[in-house]
Each structure stands twice: as C-alpha cells, then as structure tokens.
Structure 1
Amino acid sequence: LPASFLGSRQWSSENIADGLALAHVYGCATFWITFTTNPNWPEIQSKLAPGQTAADVPTVIARAFKQRLNLFLNILCK
C-alpha cells in the first residue's frame, strides 16, 4: 500500500524517518504527552440522543477533542 494509506508500512516508514530527522535537528524530546478523548466527558454525553453511544456520533467526539486539545495547548504554551 502507498504512503498515502494511513497505517500502511510505507506510511509508518515515512513517519519514523520524519521523527528521526526532527530528533537529529532539535535533539531528543524532553517529555512526551498523550492526549486522548473520554467518551464520558459532559460535552459529549449532553449531545447524545436516548439510546446513542459516543461511538455513534464521531463528529461530536472530534469536536470535543479539538476543543479540549486547544484549551490544553493554550494552557501549556502560556
């Protein structure tokens, strides 16, 4: 599969190469942050219709993630 196919071997190879190039230029990372979505966040749960789960509304999950990520990055970069 081509590198344009997310998760393919070629895609992984290119991303690893990019990461190694960045480490060469800027040095190794001092710390690593993982930011994930919690489907029980109030802003997700409040948008669900009766009987729906968070997995049924990926756009709501993406929007909540983006809002929280932006807030986190604003706090981190102050």
Structure 2
Amino acid sequence: MATAVGTSIDAMAVGVSMAFLDVSIVVIALAIGAATMLMSTGGVLAGRFLGARFGRYAEILGGLALIGLGSSILYEHLTA
C-alpha cells in the first residue's frame, strides 16, 4: 500500500511539474513509453537467459529469501 501511495504521489508531482513547464506532453509520453518498453524487454530477455543458466539456483535463493523474510516478520510480531 505504501509503495502504491508513493508511486501515485511521484506521478502527481511529475504531472504538476510538466504542467508548469513549457514542454510537449506527446514527446514526454513517447520517451517514457520507449524507456519502459526497452527496460521491460531487456528484463524479459535477461530473465530468459539467466533463467536457463541459473534457474534452479535462483529458485533456491528466492525460496530462502522468502523464508528469511517470513521468519523475520514472525519474529518481529511475536516479540513486539
């Protein structure tokens, strides 16, 4: 929830800033769209490449991270 609120406030601040500046919203929207497309595509391609090579180890590491995070939250709630 906090991330969603923070993202919304950030988007609002950028929108208000663009309203005060004399810029073309079309150019800005196209630049943001192109950057998002390139980064998303790069992430998918990197994930596909790295997943083929390190998929099993990444799953184990991710599982351990989730177990650690859950244990930390449980400990925090039980001792508070």
TM-score, with length taken from structure 1: 0.34
Higher CA-based Rg: 2
Higher-helix-fraction structure: 2
RCO (CA 8 Å, sep 6+): is it higher in 1 or 2? 1
